[in-house]
Amino acid sequence: MENFLKEYSKLLDESNEHLSYQAIAAYLNLKEMLSSREIKYIERHLEICPACREKFNTVLNEDNELDNQPGSEDIEKTEKPGGARIFRISNYWKYSAAALILIIAAAIYFFLLEDKTIITLNSKGEDSVTIHEKLRDETGKGIKNGDKPAAGRFYEEDLAVREHFSKNTVLENFINRNVRSETHVQILLPLIEDTVNIPIKFVWRKGGVDLFTLTIVDNKNRPLYRNSVEGNEFLYTEKLGSGLYYWKIEANGKLEVVGKFYVK
Amino acid sequence: MQPVDLYKIFFSPGTRGYNIISRFYYKYHDLFERTNYPQFKEFLNQIFLNISNIDFSKDIKNEEAYITGSIKIQCRVQLDKALKSRYTMLHENPQTIEPSEEKSSFIENFESNNPGPLEQLEIQEIFQEVNTFKLSLNSAELELFNNLIDDVPRKEIAERYQMNLNTIDTRIRRLRIKFLGYLKKCGYSTSLFDKYD
């Protein structure tokens, strides 16, 4: 660690890299946490770089705007892009609307849902359809590929479904560092965040290596498939439930790239 | 301060911390939405996770200023990461970018003074990880860590704080374990240090 920090220290002395927003914010807000070398690095760069000086002013002004504390009336405005402001409904109307929605939902559930039919909101008569229900299959691994609810129909949102799609922070870090692969292994298919169907074709640029290990994991990093692959492509044909998945390519026992895809 | 209290005082709706994070998130909403944080709640939770690592046993003069300062810094950490993701996406898949996006893009077109491939660990990334790690240190550990960054010799550190060398070495060893644990949690390989040994 000491050698690592020595190298870091050397970089601080020699680097001309532009300052990150974090570096400037740390200098402005918690300078006492920085080491002398880090402070000198920031100040030295600000002296010579007009772009970073401008960035510094941006952060300074932004900090003042961000911390403009609301008054006691508690405006509850939320800024959205384009300067449009959305005013939240006051508490009275919010609770009334919530109560009304609950009553309507209860009425639909108890009186209208019968024999797996859903009554559509529009006036056209429609054939009965299968409710998009039982979102976990019996093994609990994923949701069934049921009928996709058409626009205009109610369907219950299952919290478990959202869980299958939530991102894995650690693996997301690896994805962001894909470009640092020393052997230049690079993902070609599926692209990051593609939605795919089974069978899935995985393709990557080899970068001077011929034998790889491909692992597919779910969003909890639980391995679902792992095998050696010769060459730069692989066709996966087994079943995968709906959700977010990551796939890893290893070469010579070292993790080279991580990709991710969705299955719906 | 316990995480529950931290959340209640600084991260629940209407609090100062929540307002800062909310304003920041929606200011850069189009960037965060397309990169790491499509939902505000995820953004809020990530910052809370980082801030909850603060070691409150250290001697903090003004706790509120310290926490709100840390929140502003962590917002910029996420902004830097999102800009980087965007940059990577642009360079890997230029066809996915719509023409209208480029005009309102948050990508900064600074020319790098150190051009080259991104295979190396960049100083800004090290700065980010080192300074987020510092939140979890108590006062003594922070001082020692900063001394190591400043490349102060061990003997001088021992003299400065009137400790013997063995004590300093023990503390450095503990710091090393803590730092390695932190980097592992962030997803880095522990062989990161091997390159420098």
What integer best gives the mean pLDDT of chain B? 78
Q: How far apart are CA B36 and CA A172, in angstroms?
A: 8
Quote the minimal CA–CA distance from A52 to chain B in Å.
10
- Provide the pLDDT for residue A245: 93
Residue B110 pLDDT? 33
For chain B, say whether A73 makes contact (Cβ under 8 Å). Answer: no
Distance in angstroms (rounded) separating the CA atoms of residues B180 and A169: 18
pLDDT tens string B145-187: 999 999 889 889 888 888 888 999 999 999 988 888 888 777 7
Q: Please choose, from the candidates A238, A217, A235, A239, the residue with its C-alpha nearest in 3D space to the C-alpha of residue A226.
A: A217
Measuring CA to CA, how many Å separate B158 from each of A1, A140, B167, B169?
Answer: 18, 58, 8, 10
3-state helix, strand, coil in chain A (%, to 5): 35, 20, 40
Do A167 and B42 make contact, defined as CB atoms within 8 angstroms?
yes
**This model's pTM is above 0.90:** no
Taking CA atoms, B5 is separated from A72, A154, B2, B10, B11, in Å, by 22, 39, 5, 8, 9
CA A162 to chain CA centroid, nearest Å = 12
Minimal C-alpha gap between A170 and chain B (Å):
5
Report d(CA B185, CA B180) in Å as an integer.
9
B77-113 residue pLDDT tens = 999 888 888 877 776 665 554 544 443 333 333 333 4
Strands A254-263 and A194-196: parallel
- Residue indicated by tokens 């690095």: A41
CA A95 to chain B, closest CA, distance in angstroms equals 17
d(CA B177, CA B188): 14
Q: What is the value of ipTM here, to two decimals?
A: 0.81
Read off the pLDDT of residues A104-148 as tens digits, 9 standing for 90 and up.
888 887 776 655 444 444 444 444 333 333 334 444 444 444 444
Neighbours of A105 (CB within 10 A): 12
Interface test with A, best of B30, B71, B73 (most A CBs within 10 A): B73
Residue A159, token pair as written in the block: 């919290």
Instruction: For chain B, state the CA radius of gyration.
Output: 20
Q: Tens digits of per-residue pLDDT, A90-104?
A: 566 777 788 888 888
> What digits encode the pLDDT tens for the residues B38-53?
889 989 999 998 888 8
A240 versus B61: which is more confidently predicted?
A240
Interchain CB distance below 8 Å, A8 and B80: no
In chain A, residues 19-58 whose CB comes closer than 8 Å to chain B: 19-26, 28-30, 33-38, 51
Which pLDDT belongs to residue A255? 83
- Please, are residues A81 and B30 in contact by the beta-carbon 8 Å criterion? yes
